[in-house]
Copies of this chain bind each other. A is one copy, B any other.
C-alpha cells in the first residue's frame, strides 16, 4: 500500500526556444541587484552569457559576476559568493550552467542571509533552509535536475566530504529551460548527464523497499525509457531538439518529486559515487555509470529480482515470458551495454588510475555515522568495498 505523502513543487518553468524572453519580467518582482553565477568560458562561448545580460538589461538591474563555478562546487568558493552578496546587497542569484552552477547559486543564496560566513556551518547544522535570496536557474545541461529541486551539493576538499543542504527557500523561483542551450554539450558530458538523470529514478525510487503507487511506477518506467531512448540520439546528434528537450524535461522530472510520492528516497549508488567524486574528483555521472550495473549485480537475489526484471520488461522491451532471474540479468547487461558501448564510457576504475588503496576508507565514509547505506538493499562497508572492487 502506498505510504502517505505530502507534495509541493512551486518552481515556475519556462520551457523552449523562447524561454529566456521571459527573464526580465520574472526577475522584476524580486529586486534589481543580481548575482550571475557561472563557470568559466562555455556560457560565453555559446553566446548565452550575452543573451542573458541583454535580457536582464531590459529591466533596470545591476549585475554582479561570480564565475568561480567548477564541477563539484567547493565550499570555499561558495563562501566567496556569499560575501559578494552581503557586500553588495544582492537580491537575486541566477545559476547559469550545469548542476554545479545552479547548486552554487542555491548555496550562495542561503549563505547570503545566514548568520555565518562559512557555508559548511549550514551543512553541519543539518537544518532545512527556510530563508535565502531568490534563486533563478538557467540550465545548460540535462542532468542533476537542480533547476526544480530544493537541495544543493557542496564539496569540502579539506575533509574530502561531498554533501549539502536543502529546504524550500533554495528551490528556484523560476527556471528557464531552453533545450538549444544544451546543443553544445559534448558527447561525454551528454552521456554522464543522461546517466545521472536515469539514476535519479533508479537509485531513489524505482528500486525500493516501499510499495509504489501503480500509476507512478508506470511513469517511472517511461521516465527511464525516455532516457534510454533519447540519450544515444543526443550523443550522436547534438543538435537534435527532440532528444535534447526530452532529456532536459526528464532531468527536471527525475527530482521534482512528481513521481516520488510515497516512496522514501534513498541513494545507494549516489552515496558510493560521492566518495569517488570527493576523493578522485570524478565526473558524477561517470561514477554513477561505473557503479550502477555492478551494484545491481551485487544486490540481485530472489527478493530483488522482480524489480530488476521489471526494468527489463518495461524499459528494455525484453519479452515478458522471460523468467524473472534471467530477465533481471538482461536488465543489467542492457544497462552495461548502454553505458559502456552505446554511450562510450570507460567501465573500469583501473583504467582511470584508480586502485583499491582507499576503498576501505571510502566505504566507511559512504556508510556514514550509522555504518550502513540504507536502501533497496542495506549496504555495509564490506559490501561497498566489494562493489568498488567489482568496478576495478
Q: Which of B13, B213, B246, B262 contacts A214 (CB 8 A)?
A: B246
- Per-position binary interface string of chain A over residues 197-227, scored 1 when its CB falls under 8 Å from any chain B CB and 0 otherwise: 0000000000000000111101101110110
Nearest residue, chain B, Cβ from A250? B215
B-facing residues in A238-265 (Cβ within 8 Å): 241-242, 245-246, 249-250, 253, 258, 261-262
Contact residues on A (Cβ < 8 Å of other chain), bracket: 35 or more
Would you give the shortest CB distance from A150 to chain B, in whole angstroms?
13
| Chain B: minimal CB distance from A233 (Å) | 10
Supposing A15-B261, A15-B262, A261-B15 touch, asked if A213 and B8 sit within 8 A by C-beta, the answer is: no
Closest to A175 in B: B7
Q: Is the CB of A19 within 8 A of B4?
A: yes
A230 lies within 8 A of chain B by Cβ = yes
Among residues of B, the one whose C-beta sits closest to the C-beta of A9 is B9
Oligomeric state, in number of copies?
A: 2
The chain B residue with its CB closest to the CB of A223 is B215
Contact A8 to B8, CB < 8 A, known contacts A215-B250, A245-B213: no
- The reply to whether A16 and B5 contact each other, CB–CB distance below 8 Å, is yes
Check A229–B214 contact: CB distance below 8 A.
yes
Does A342 count as interface, using CB distance less than 8 angstroms?
A: no
Residues of A within 8 A of B (CB): 1-19, 22, 213-216, 218-219, 221-223, 225-226, 229-230, 241-242, 245-246, 249-250, 253, 258, 261-262
Query: Known pairs A7-B13, A8-B13, A215-B250. 4 more at Cβ < 8 A?
Result: A1-B245, A6-B15, A214-B230, A214-B242
